[in-house]
Structure 1
């Protein structure tokens, strides 16, 4: 299928969370009736524009799509970043539920699905309205447990988590992750929890009974497909399994690939969503289309 923007209405949306924070979002509306609608939940510190080509592809395949910037990221920065009190917990408990509500408002006669990239898939268990989600398609979603990473990347991760984050949070009141190629600048609460959770087993599980007393990880049971790639130094196979175990009732199909299977040199943690990757290996994006079509 030729995927062109003129098949799709694309427009901006402002979504208000129950924290009274406005999130910047983009709606991709196919010309025909929408029976399946998707929210794309982003990785930590990644702006919604990163998913534009992928979202356009899905919309051209007949799916309604909504992308968004989490609080404190991109166009959802509502104040000086050093004063932003967003956290990974607030992203999962407040931002993502508000986006799911907006998806239902935009496409009232559809079924609703979540495509999660890294943190976007990790935080589903904090969503009080998770039952509206019919299926999950996760890419590069794992616990990010540093202990399971290989050298030399493990040293890089330790330096970022255990030195760069606390030092810059103390100095600037936020983490300028963009300075070292780790996405957008991060609110200090996001960066602090990211560090704490990646230093333990089960990512968010390390916060259960501490900063998290209510969650739904042991209730979620919608079908899910998790994709991983052998050259992803963060979401390696051990860390994907570590995260899947937190979703104790989720029926997961895990697919783990070598980039060479698709004639690619690398996919890693980010390149699944690249239009260049899709041009060389269209079957990767087609996996998402096939999964969503199967859930109808």
Structure 2
């Protein structure tokens, strides 16, 4: 695997928040341009090797840290106003606009990991995407999980999050192997939406007064793994129910079929799972013609 090579840029959102982003520009003709939308609390460095793979195969890529995460955190996390909704309404549209500005006149794709795919319907410019490729994107509904994992999920969502928010003014998710510390608004919505059906759908008419889930019709591929307790088949179906017109295909991966020990919720993007990456490349090639 080649060493990742990228340019660091700053993206300004409509709400004046700035995001740290990395641009991976391929040599020669560009086949298409991709924004990799991260999972909750996951820094863009996690996707660098995967982005390099796409770059080496002719695709331009932008990775980014959401507001309040990683290099996009400005000042104390206790002062961050970010929430899941602002990630979808502000951060992600700004990244797509930057992608279009940097790489004009091509096809644009979103590769979403967990929240990165869930929030696409909040983007005012989402219809400008040629395709969606989502991994581990589901509603994350707690009651759809197997009982043993459901107990752990309830403990984190309904115990750790409110207690940590009360004690520290943010969620110390890093103490539980759940990525970066989360701004209080992100953690509160995460807790609320995962306790409901349809994830973001529970906020329609409450905090979300305009969305574009009903307008998205582009081709999409939703991949989950058999050893993922969060994005199981029931939760993928629950999330897909929020996209009534989407042209959606699903693919269920079994690690042993790719000579992998595990995939779970996170490891598709790990370089140890590079055997899975042609699934994304083939998809992008197919939808960039």
TM-score range, shorter chain: over 0.9
- Consecutive unaligned residues in structure 2, runs of 5 or more: none
Q: Does 1:194 align with 2:190?
A: yes
Where in structure 1 do 4 or more consecutive aligned residues deviate above 4 Å?
none
- 1:274 aligned partner: 270
Is residue 134–residue 223 contact of structure 1 (8 Å, CA) maintained in 2?
yes
- 1:233 aligned partner: 229
CA distance in 1 between counterparts of 2:7 and 2:253 reads 35
- 2:282 aligned partner: 290
- 1:164 aligned partner: 160
Q: Report SS of the residue matched to 2:6.
A: strand
CA distance in 1 between counterparts of 2:6 and 2:155 reads 40
Q: Does 1:177 align with 2:173?
A: yes
Alignment of 1:135-150 (within 5 A): 135-150=131-146
| TM-score with structure 1 setting the length | 0.96
CA distance in 1 between counterparts of 2:229 and 2:61 reads 29
CA distance in 2 between counterparts of 1:43 and 1:4 reads 24
CA distance in 1 between counterparts of 2:129 and 2:156 reads 34
CA distance in 2 between counterparts of 1:145 and 1:258 reads 22
- Consecutive unaligned residues in structure 1, runs of 5 or more: none
Tell me how many residue pairs correspond in the alignment: 288
Q: Report SS of the residue matched to 2:239.
A: helix
CA distance in 2 between counterparts of 1:91 and 1:48 reads 14
Alignment of 1:119-138 (within 5 A): 119-138=115-134
Deviation at residue 9 of structure 1 after TM alignment: 5.1
CA distance in 1 between counterparts of 2:81 and 2:169 reads 10
Q: Does 1:116 align with 2:112?
A: yes
Alignment of 1:201-220 (within 5 A): 201-220=197-216
Is residue 35–residue 109 contact of structure 1 (8 Å, CA) maintained in 2?
no
Q: Does 1:71 align with 2:67?
A: yes
Q: 1:125 to 1:112 in 2, by over 3 A?
A: same
CA distance in 1 between counterparts of 2:75 and 2:189 reads 20
| TM-score with structure 2 setting the length | 0.98
CA distance in 2 between counterparts of 1:238 and 1:172 reads 34
CA distance in 2 between counterparts of 1:288 and 1:35 reads 14
Is residue 221–residue 251 contact of structure 1 (8 Å, CA) maintained in 2?
yes
- 1:21 aligned partner: 17
Q: Report SS of the residue matched to 2:35.
A: strand
